[in-house]
């Protein structure tokens, strides 16, 4: 995918002319536009660009036509095919990226030549395939030119014009104007005026050009010439030009005021507004793939005649960890619209609809966890975790005979965990910067400190917090990330026994000495996200789950407890995995549980669930947990539910997203990433085999990241870097922080600023958590594109 | 809008043939389909229907063509226009409802004639206007026939075919097959096979029919005849027929198994699964307007040859109170797709995008509350209320110097309130059936009992709970609902003074005697929804807010408090209105606050915000509340935010929805409802003037419901009914319940069953809350349609 800036230049209003169908007069309209601009704005240069042209039968002579009838226009065709066929059938084809880059460069060059006016003509209809088969409106989407749509004046033309408009709309195009050659018989223009008028789009009727005189070229030319002379005086043509100019000015004006307006009315999440000013609000004009198109006030390269209004910004937080299939993905857009058209939203309780049912079935299959049999829908990760919590507390209180309204039943978790912003889920985490200022927050539980994984100076290290070292061990180094994940081997190691003893004795103290009660074990598997991108030793998490399951007597002295851990029933405590962030391929696999070699009883998924388009969350649970809520009493049910539970649009989009990601998995979409990490791991293992404490490399767990192993290694040697890791689409860099970390860190925000500054026309939007700067790719990001970002990181840190 | 059942008959597979454009061979394809069905299934009758035909130039001779080449087919044209123009230009036009009814009846009649096969041909392209100007794909949408799309084989045909497919998709149609006459030069079929193949839609290439012989009719007929004889032996034709048959069987099969499958995998919200079985799960095939299309197993009228698979069910809970602009609204669908195409989801903090900004600005304007200046986005009413709560607690603790981590700061509310399912918002309500089984629930606050409003035996009554009568007064009757709302007058009444004294002395006791602390006043204005559709006396709620604002000394003895109640600053306690359910026209007005003549400091809106399509919530707050969070410390910020905060799709849909509802308000869309209530009020006032305690009718507050005043009056006389009210789109019937109410009531569920049974082919889906059955219309529901539902209610209760 090309990384071009959106097509918007301050002094070069530019329009892409699309036709509702082939043969509707795009070239004539383009010629008119060029001529009238020359007439009314002689101070502007007029430019005409035909990116792809396909021979005489269609409109290969567009350029010639234009040159003949609008002599003062500078016209250019970038790619000319001689066969009168759809360009995707032609030979010697430029790539889509080439085409986009050429257009962008060409217009950029023209924009430097002073005030101008440009028309970019398309070929065929809006969805005619381009040279590589991508539909034209998809091909040009990264540029998102404003569109002039030439309607079809013929019989059936109302249908094709509106359908073309809809196809452009679902790809996020803005239609600046519709033009229609007025036909007195079919009167399409009358209908279209009403139709588009309601949508705030003006329709400009234009007299029909003369019929082609097939017998005399000169007569033909003469009558055409006369037509043009005449038509540019038609009031609608002047109005059209004026309307386009106004749109152009207004769009740039809006982009210029949006930050200040947002600063006046928006209350931003997780934002200290005293530190916000319009200058640090980035105005997003649109987004595509893994990039935003953002408004830029500064000339890109110091050249004041260069007046690009938009730059492209890599969406380096994957839009708060949600992005999977790219912004502006047309398949997701169409899926959303299909469900909206078929259902709108229909209430779930008492009924069922196909997207909710299929998604539940697909998820149960996809997660490959034999415990999970039931799907409870909600709207976001936080509500999904509230539901999980309600499930967990109920079943343990029920089994152990606790009355939680009278006695405090807490949860077991990990230090630095984070499960959401609603107060109930906040209570599942220990006091932190996030929750300590929330008046009703009451942390309820116990949170284990635990060993973490990172790369330091070229080696993978399991690092044990100082206060645990007396119970456990000092830091351990590993030959590769794969060997850290080799649980088959590590389960039998000393570390495993030490972990087990430590966990067991801690629990004994808590329950027996301190009389604490626990209702659930809640874990973010592998990576604790909001807590600061903390990579937990998988062996520790594995062991924690095993100890809890194998020792129900730790939690209750009742002697009528079911035997520990039958294959699919909970034992000890219900185990809840918060995979809201880590699940559904974010770490490269369907679940992050699969790295830990344990199956939770309850698993919560959100964010990537809809591919990064819409809020939707699912809490999956085992049948025995579900059964605990069965009773003749309605009030024993799980009394939770939001109005838009399992909204059809979200479910349909999720269905499409999961299907696409599964296809990517199966078709090896990420193979080059896997190869990079596999070969790097092998090399590293060889180089360090004699110095590490665990030389056994697992063949089994494939561990990879879309961020290159080379970058991770080089970062790990950087002086300012304390540790680094990458997994799946996540890269996390912990900086040494003299100030002691906390909510912000100078080193991390230093890198953030440099990335935000970027290079001309391109920057990287990133997020910082304390002393950690992380970058997160989309699941569709391509290697060469990510390497370009990595280069920016390297430059910023002088690697 | 017509109330037709979805077009699906067990023994009559029926297909609607749409063309990618005009002149692409719909009639030829229809003829082929009819002929091949006759050939392979001689036991089936073959039917051809042309609903609307428009003269010789287009395809008025479709029927004749069919009769000529497929003699054993029964063909019919419902509406024939002789002008060769788009039907919307013709004279003497049937209404859209007529057309739908005729099609439904015609097919229904044919379905009774035993096994068959039907083809319904459209006119022109997919979006060609029908006789009344509605786009054809919109016009026929309530029937939602499965579609055979005839592709355009010409140059540009790839574009028009895919655009047609997209326009059908965004209206929720399923495309069963695409056919294309194969052209060796343009090879559209090859491209289309790949394109649709990826979407799981099969493309069937069919040999081109012979070119028309313009000189000899008989030659022309002969070659056409030969073509048909030949083509039906083409393997693709047999495959097409088989594929269609399979689709038909599979669709009915799926509908038949969905309830059982849902019963296996879905964990329903607010549902006691022990009471659920597949037989009481209603399978929703699709939805349109204010109706679902649900699967029905029983023949509609006892006639076993009648085999309709779908019936239409009035969505009587407005899909859990969300529905505003109708299911399957094509404008909302396109808005959703546009934002998905332009942005996908882009993260909010640090940036701004147009839909989020415009929606915030529009909402602030629309709500007409001079206090509200800031918009905080979240995903649903519950999270919106968690945010409001965090805002409220912070500002009061800050002003009064309370450390809420050390001392309990509760909220003030009303008995029977309900604010959401997350634990923090549950804590804002007193113990109830909803929350008492939630282990971490701890009600934190005090909840006032209060007088309620209902109609009993033809009179509007303000009913005072028995335990309050000693402090207040006995029940009061009113001449009309308008006079209950005449706060201008009632503020000066004895009742107002009694309310004030009672509220003030209660607060004094709580704070001074019991040392309680309160951080916010939280109210559902007018109607307490989930608590049982309780209609609070607006004067009581008005007075409660005023007392809290005018008496800050009630809550704190500090002597440095700001003076009470400057126009836009909070005083006493921050006042939070939970308008999640009641706001944005649900009760007929933009806000329900406007009925109370007070402006809250914080107002939460969700549900109708997106017109009933998607989860989205907004918490609006005053500038002084916002300012309290300003500080140099990041951690003093409001630390709340969900990943999909202000998702572009939801914001864009909300923008469209609010614009549409505002237009409905301004254009008098609900005038006939207003007239009904205004005239009924006037009559009632006249009739009861001498017997009521408050004879003053307000001219000002227009109070209306889409449910007729006559129904409310008649219900109020029914023996089983304890009280009834209607406001905006809400009708609430409280039944006398010998068992004492609670979560269910026999009388209410009795009516629910009768409505669910319905009449042949039509029923009403409703929800019950304890002893209350409510019905809720969409904001687009039409009077005559609602009167039909009312008739069903009347019959069920023998009114």
Task: Report the Cα–Cα distance between both ends of chain B, in Å, rounded.
Answer: 27
Q: Which residues pair with A535 in a beta bridge?
A: A527
Which residues of chain A lie closer than 8 angstroms to B167, CB-CB?
162-163, 166-167
A606: pLDDT strictly greater than 50: yes
Contact: B379, A374; criterion CB under 8 Å: no
Is the pLDDT higher at A88 or at A14?
A14
Q: Which residues pair with A371 in a beta bridge?
A: none
* C-beta of residue B683 within 8 angstroms of C-beta of residue B454: no
Contact: B158, A329; criterion CB under 8 Å: no
Give the residue from chain B lying closest to A275, CA to CA. B632
pLDDT in tens, B166-211: 999 999 999 999 999 997 777 899 999 999 999 999 999 999 999 8
Rounded Cα–Cα distance for residues A785 and A777 (Å):
10
Contact: B155, A345; criterion CB under 8 Å: no
Contact: A172, B645; criterion CB under 8 Å: no
Contact: A349, B269; criterion CB under 8 Å: yes
pLDDT at B90: 64
Element (H, E) at B424: helix B423-426
Q: Predicted confidence band at A89 (pLDDT cuts at 50, 70, 90)? A: low
pLDDT at A706: 97
DSSP conformation class of A4: P
Contact: B629, A350; criterion CB under 8 Å: no
Q: Is the dihedral of CA B409, B415, B420, B426 positive or negative?
A: positive
pLDDT at B680: 82
* B746 min Cα distance to partner chain A (Å): 14
Which residues of chain B lie closer than 8 angstroms to A129, CB-CB?
158, 191
Contact: A374, B266; criterion CB under 8 Å: yes
A20: pLDDT strictly greater than 50: yes
Give which of A6, A173, A262, A269 to mutate to test B binding, by max B Cβ within 10 Å: A269
Q: Predicted confidence band at A299 (pLDDT cuts at 50, 70, 90)? A: low
Give the residue from chain A lying closest to B282, CA to CA. A351
Low-confidence ranges of chain B (pLDDT < 50): 56-60, 300, 695-698, 700, 741
Q: Predicted confidence band at A620 (pLDDT cuts at 50, 70, 90)? A: very high
State if pTM tops 0.90. yes
Give which of B615, B638, B647 to mutate to test A binding, by max A Cβ within 10 Å: B615
DSSP string, A198-233: HTT--EEEEPPPPPP-SS-HHHHHHHHHHHHHHHTT
Q: Would you call B336 an interface residue with chain A, using a CB distance cutoff of 8 Å? A: yes
Q: How many CB pairs under 8 A join A and B?
A: 603
Q: 3-state SS string over A34-48? A: HHHHHHHCCCCEEEE
Q: Would you call B197 an interface residue with chain A, using a CB distance cutoff of 8 Å? A: no
Contact: B615, A647; criterion CB under 8 Å: yes
A544: pLDDT strictly greater than 70: yes
Contact: A635, B275; criterion CB under 8 Å: no
Nearest CB to A265 within list B266, B340, B375:
B375
% of residues, chain B, pLDDT over 70: 93
A88: pLDDT strictly greater than 80: no
* A675 min Cα distance to partner chain B (Å): 28
**Residue A483, SS3 per DSSP:** helix
Strand bridging mode A602-605 / A575-578: parallel
Note the ipTM here.
Answer: 0.96
Rounded Cα–Cα distance for residues B332 and A509 (Å):
58
Q: Would you call B334 an interface residue with chain A, using a CB distance cutoff of 8 Å? A: yes
Give the residue from chain B lying closest to A325, CA to CA. B344
Is the pLDDT higher at B496 or at A79?
B496
Q: Predicted confidence band at A354 (pLDDT cuts at 50, 70, 90)? A: very high
Q: Would you call B643 an interface residue with chain A, using a CB distance cutoff of 8 Å? A: yes
All structural domains of chain B, each given as residue ranges with its CATH number in brackets, are 14-246 (3.40.50.300), 264-320 (no CATH), 330-666 (3.40.640.10), 671-796 (3.90.1150.10)
pLDDT at B183: 79
Query: What average pLDDT does chain A have?
Result: 92
* C-beta of residue B584 within 8 angstroms of C-beta of residue B590: yes
Contact: A155, B315; criterion CB under 8 Å: no
Q: Would you call A290 an interface residue with chain B, using a CB distance cutoff of 8 Å? A: no
pLDDT at A139: 97
- Composition of chain B by helix, strand, coil, percent to 5: 40, 20, 40
Which residues of chain A lie closer than 8 angstroms to B131, CB-CB?
none
Q: Would you call B650 an interface residue with chain A, using a CB distance cutoff of 8 Å? A: yes
- pLDDT, mean of residues A6-12: 95
Give which of B8, B343, B360, B643 to mutate to test A binding, by max A Cβ within 10 Å: B643
Nearest CB to B409 within list A164, A439, A612:
A439
Contact: A346, B136; criterion CB under 8 Å: no
Nearest CB to A621 within list B166, B267, B336:
B267
Contact: B440, A444; criterion CB under 8 Å: yes
Residue from B517, B427, B409 nearest A405 by CA: B427
Q: Which 664-723 residues of chain A touch chain B by CB within 8 A?
A: none
* B610 min Cα distance to partner chain A (Å): 10
Could you tell me which residues come within 8 angstroms of residue B92 by beta carbon, excluding any fewer than 6 positions away? Answer: none
A759: pLDDT strictly greater than 50: yes
Nearest CB to B357 within list A262, A294, A348:
A262
Rounded Cα–Cα distance for residues B65 and B67 (Å):
6
Which residues of chain A lie closer than 8 angstroms to B345, CB-CB?
319, 322-323, 327, 612-614
Alpha helices in B48-184 (DSSP H): 62-69, 96-111, 136-139, 157-169
Q: Which 774-793 residues of chain B touch chain A by CB within 8 A?
A: none
Q: What's the token pair of residue A452?
A: 């973490």
DSSP conformation class of A49: E
Q: Would you call B558 an interface residue with chain A, using a CB distance cutoff of 8 Å? A: no
Give which of A361, A422, A430, A743 to mutate to test B binding, by max B Cβ within 10 Å: A422
CB atoms within 10 A of CB A516: 17
Give the residue from chain B lying closest to A744, CA to CA. B634
Give the residue from chain B lying closest to A288, CA to CA. B343
- On the CB side of A540, how many CA atoms lie within 13 Å of its CA? 26
Q: Which 66-85 residues of chain B touch chain A by CB within 8 A?
A: 85
- Composition of chain A by helix, strand, coil, percent to 5: 40, 20, 40
Which residues of chain A lie closer than 8 angstroms to B315, CB-CB?
346-347
């Amino acid at each position: 995918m090309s990384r071009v800036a959106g097509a918007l230049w301050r002094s070069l209003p530019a329009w892409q002319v699309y036709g509702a169908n082939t043969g509707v007069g795009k070239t004539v309209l383009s010629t008119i536009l060029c001529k009238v601009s020359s007439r009314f704005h002689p101070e502007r240069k007029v430019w005409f660009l035909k990116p792809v042209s396909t021979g005489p039968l269609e409109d290969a002579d567009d350029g010639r036509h234009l040159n003949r009838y609008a002599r003062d226009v500078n016209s250019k065709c970038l790619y000319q095919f001689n066969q009168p066929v759809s360009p995707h059938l032609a030979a010697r084809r430029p790539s889509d990226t080439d085409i986009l880059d050429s257009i962008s460069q060409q217009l950029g060059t023209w924009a430097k030549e002073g005030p101008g006016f440009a028309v970019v003509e398309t070929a065929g209809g809006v969805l005619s395939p381009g040279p590589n088969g991508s539909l034209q409106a998809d091909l040009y989407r990264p540029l998102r030119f404003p569109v002039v749509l030439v309607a079809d004046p013929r019989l059936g033309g109302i249908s094709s014009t509106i359908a073309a408009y809809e196809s452009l709309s679902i790809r996020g195009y803005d239609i600046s104007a519709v033009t229609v050659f007025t036909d007195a018989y079919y009167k399409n223009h009358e209908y279209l005026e009403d139709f588009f008028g309601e949508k705030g789009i003006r329709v400009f009727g234009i007299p029909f050009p003369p019929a082609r005189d097939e017998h005399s070229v000169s007569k033909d030319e003469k009558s055409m010439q006369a037509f043009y002379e005449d038509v540019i005086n038609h009031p609608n043509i002047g109005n059209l030009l004026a309307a386009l100019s106004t749109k152009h000015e207004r769009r740039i004006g809006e982009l210029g005021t949006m930050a200040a307006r947002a600063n006046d009315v928006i209350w931003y999440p997780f934002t200290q507004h005293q530190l916000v000013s319009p200058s640090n609000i980035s105005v997003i004009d649109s987004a595509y793939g893994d990039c935003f198109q953002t408004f830029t006030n500064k000339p890109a390269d110091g050249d004041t005649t260069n007046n690009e209004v938009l730059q492209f910004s890599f969406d380096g937080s994957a839009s708060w960890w949600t992005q999977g299939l790219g912004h502006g993905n047309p398949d997701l857009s169409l899926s959303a619209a299909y469900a909206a058209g078929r259902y709108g939203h229909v209430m779930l309780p008492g009924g069922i609809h196909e997207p909710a049912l299929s998604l539940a079935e697909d998820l149960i299959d996809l997660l490959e966890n034999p415990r999970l049999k039931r799907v409870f829908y909600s709207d976001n990760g936080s509500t999904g975790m509230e539901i999980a919590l309600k499930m967990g507390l109920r079943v343990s209180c029920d089994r152990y005979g606790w009355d939680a309204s009278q006695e405090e039943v807490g949860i077991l978790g990990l230090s630095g965990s984070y499960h959401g912003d609603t107060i109930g889920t906040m209570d599942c985490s220990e006091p932190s910067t996030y929750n300590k200022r929330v008046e009703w927050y009451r942390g309820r539980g116990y949170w284990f400190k635990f060993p973490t994984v990172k790369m330091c100076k070229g080696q993978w290290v399991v690092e044990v917090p100082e206060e645990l070292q007396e119970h456990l061990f000092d830091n351990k180094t590993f030959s590769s990330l794969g060997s850290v994940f080799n649980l088959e081997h590590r389960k039998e190691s000393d570390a495993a026994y030490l972990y087990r003893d430590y966990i067991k004795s801690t629990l004994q103290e808590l329950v027996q000495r301190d009389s604490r009660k626990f209702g659930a074990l809640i874990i973010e598997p592998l990576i604790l996200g909001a807590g600061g991108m903390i990579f937990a030793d998988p062996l520790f998490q594995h062991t924690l789950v095993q100890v809890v399951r194998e020792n129900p007597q730790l939690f209750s002295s009742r002697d009528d407890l079911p035997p520990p851990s039958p294959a699919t029933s909970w034992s000890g405590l219900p185990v809840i995995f918060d995979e809201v962030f880590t699940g559904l391929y974010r770490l490269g696999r369907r679940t992050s549980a699969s790295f830990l070699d344990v199956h939770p009883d309850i698993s919560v998924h959100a964010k990537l669930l809809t591919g990064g388009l819409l809020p939707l969350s699912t809490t999956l649970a085992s049948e025995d947990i579900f059964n605990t809520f069965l009773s003749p009493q309605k009030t024993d049910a799980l009394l939770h539910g939001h109005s838009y539970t399992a909204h059809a649009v979200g479910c349909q989009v999720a269905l499409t997203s999961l299907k696409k990601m599964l296809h990517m998995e199966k078709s090896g979409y990420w193979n080059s990433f896997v190869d990079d990490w596999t070969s790097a791991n092998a090399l590293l293992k060889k180089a360090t085999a004699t110095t590490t404490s665990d030389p056994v490399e697992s063949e089994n767990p494939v561990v990879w990241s879309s961020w290159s192993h080379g970058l991770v290694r080089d970062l790990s040697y950087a002086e300012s870097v304390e540790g680094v890791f990458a997994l799946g689409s996540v890269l996390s860099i912990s900086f040494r922080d003299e100030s002691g970390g906390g909510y912000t860190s100078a080193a991390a925000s230093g890198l953030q600023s440099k990335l935000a500054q970027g290079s001309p026309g391109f920057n990287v939007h990133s997020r910082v958590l304390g002393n950690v700067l992380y970058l997160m790719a989309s699941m569709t990001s391509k290697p060469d594109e990510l390497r370009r970002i990595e280069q920016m990181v390297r430059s910023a840190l002088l690697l």
